[in-house]
Amino acid sequence: MSGGVQWGDAPLRWQEVAQVARGNAPLTLSENAWQRISQGRAIVQHIIDAGQVAYGINTGLGALCNITLAQEQLSQLSRNTLLSHACGVGPLLDEAQTRAIICAAVANYSHGKSGISCAIVEQLLAFLNLRITPQVPSQGSVGYLTHMAHIGLALMGVGEVSWQGRVLPAAQALEEAGLAPITPGAKEGLSLVNGTPCMTGLACLALDDAAKLLDWADVTGAMSFEALRGQTAAFDEEILALKASPGLQHSGHRLRQLLADSQLLAESQGVRTQDALSLRSMPQVHGACRDQFAHAQRQVDTELNACTDNPLIIGTLDNWRVVSQAHPHGESVAMACDILAIAMAELGAIAERRLDRLVNPLVSGLPAFLVTRPGVNSGMMIAQYVAASLCAENKQLAQPAVLDNFVTSALQEDHLSLGTGAALKLHRLNGNLYQILGIEYLLAAQGLEFHRIDTLAPGTRRALALLRETVPTWEDDRWLAPEIAKAVAALKRHATEEVM
């Protein structure tokens, strides 16, 4: 399919999930993937026909695993599983979040180890490619189950979906789209709710945001550094090479690029012995955050390429095994999201310290609160308050979710990852960080304009020009909230390659 993404023959990356979930790229599976799925389903049917007993195929679920079911009850079990597990509460996931979960589910099923039918995977792909999005409550998961249950119900024509700008009954959307409701067979209800697609799909989107935020933090930080006439010796290449952190080297290189050929900084050398840590430690702090991002993306990519169902079906029709294990646990994704949350909270914390220096005339050398007539104008005074508030909230959101634990399913599931909660709070934290960096972008741009524009580095000048396309220079007080929103929109709309 032209311009599309195909999975099934090569390792997957989180970027591909983000591309499909947030864009219009259609998703297909390779012929090899369809053959694996078909073989896995054939083994399930063989087990049923042979009268063998296997967990999840012809038994009850969880604590009911020792109850054996008759063949005529198996489809009803799958339907009942989806109905009973679809009990999420709270605000709905947004469209991209739900689509990312579906993507991760398709990746899981593409291994052919879940025993799910090709028809159900085809229905999931149809939902993605036609942009039929189930309405999924965001709360209620200890790691898996509820979110995918709501998606599974929509495949059956139960519940509501968004489609073509409307929210409508799933059955109506299926009919209008020319799709038939699925009837889940043996094991398929369990396969639809099981595994780690929920936390993994959400984590892929969080990585997509984090990658952009890491890049923009270097840019807004460089703008603040130049506006405050920082001492560039702290970014010296030979000095930074003495600490073997890949993230540090990367951020240090970017900062040198952004500030290269700044006449203002050249003329400012020696105005102070050293800068405050929020300025001179940017390579170390931004770099440490990048190193944690690198770790998190390895963990998420590993999970994205894993079989995370329980039980898993392996072998052939002549030599098969159904193995109960714990691949749906999701500990690694939960930890990755928690670690990345700490890193992104720190990225915001150091940005807030920089923007606080910009508005403080005692340390900035600039007019108070970045207006030429302070007193009659409050300027950027309260924007710093907002950034401080968001940093305080991020500190709460950076508390690890994985350390919580509860007992579910009558002692059968007595250790939980809370990975979906970890991913969702990381999404909230990233949203706050966009606002913090948007405020720094706004304030740093204002600070730079108190210097002669022709003395600025070409990189920071380009970043300033991008903002000025939508946000004019601040002279007298005006409604500030829309200006912050425009600055955040600029961060989301532009890649930093445009200023490097």
Question: What does the DSSP assignment read for 423-446?
Answer: HHHHHHHHHHHHHHHHHHHHHHHH
Q: What is the CATH number of the domain that holds 74?
A: 1.10.275.10
pLDDT recorded at residue 55: 81
Residue 161 shares a structural domain with residue 307: no
**Residues whose CB is less than 8 angstroms from the CB of residue 176 and which lie 6 or more positions away in sequence, other chains included:** 163
**pLDDT exceeds 80 at position 413:** no
The pLDDT of 409-431, averaged and rounded, is 88
pLDDT recorded at residue 1: 40
Residue 101 shares a structural domain with residue 129: yes
Supply the Cα-derived Rg of the chain in whole angstroms. 26
Write down the mean pLDDT value for the chain: 94
- Domain end position, chosen among 162, 194, 226: 194
The pLDDT of 284-299, averaged and rounded, is 98
Note whether 47 and 59 are within 8 A (CB).
no
Residue 131 shares a structural domain with residue 273: no
- Domain end position, chosen among 166, 194, 222: 194
Cβ burial of 316 (10 Å; 0-12, 13-18, 19+) is exposed
**Would you call 385 a catalytic residue per the annotation?**
no
Residue 187 shares a structural domain with residue 320: no
Neighbours of 305 (CB within 10 A): 16
Q: What is the CATH number of the domain that holds 426?
A: 1.20.200.10
The pLDDT of 196-200, averaged and rounded, is 97
Helices and strands (H, E) in the chain, number of each type: 20, 9
Q: What is the pLDDT of residues 77-100, one digit of tens each?
A: 899 999 999 999 999 999 999 999
Residue 119 shares a structural domain with residue 231: no
- Enclosing domain of residue 288: 203-498
Residue 72 shares a structural domain with residue 214: no
Residue 295 shares a structural domain with residue 428: yes
Residue of 55, 109, 385, 434 with catalytic role? 55
Q: What is the pLDDT of residues 145-195, one digit of tens each?
A: 899 999 999 999 999 999 999 999 999 999 999 999 999 999 999 999 999
Note whether 437 and 286 are within 8 A (CB).
no
DSSP 116: -
Residue 131 shares a structural domain with residue 217: no
Residue 169 shares a structural domain with residue 291: no
- Structurally, the chain folds into a number of domains equal to 2
**pLDDT exceeds 90 at position 410:** no
Q: CA 457 to CA 444: how far, in whole Å?
A: 14
Note whether 334 and 402 are within 8 A (CB).
yes
Cβ burial of 172 (10 Å; 0-12, 13-18, 19+) is middle
Pairing assessment for the beta strands 320-323 and 312-315 based on DSSP bridges? antiparallel
DSSP 310: S
Least confident window among 49-63, 217-231, 256-270: 49-63
Residue 135 shares a structural domain with residue 217: no
- Domain end position, chosen among 194, 226, 244: 194
| Token pair 């020009």: residue | 465
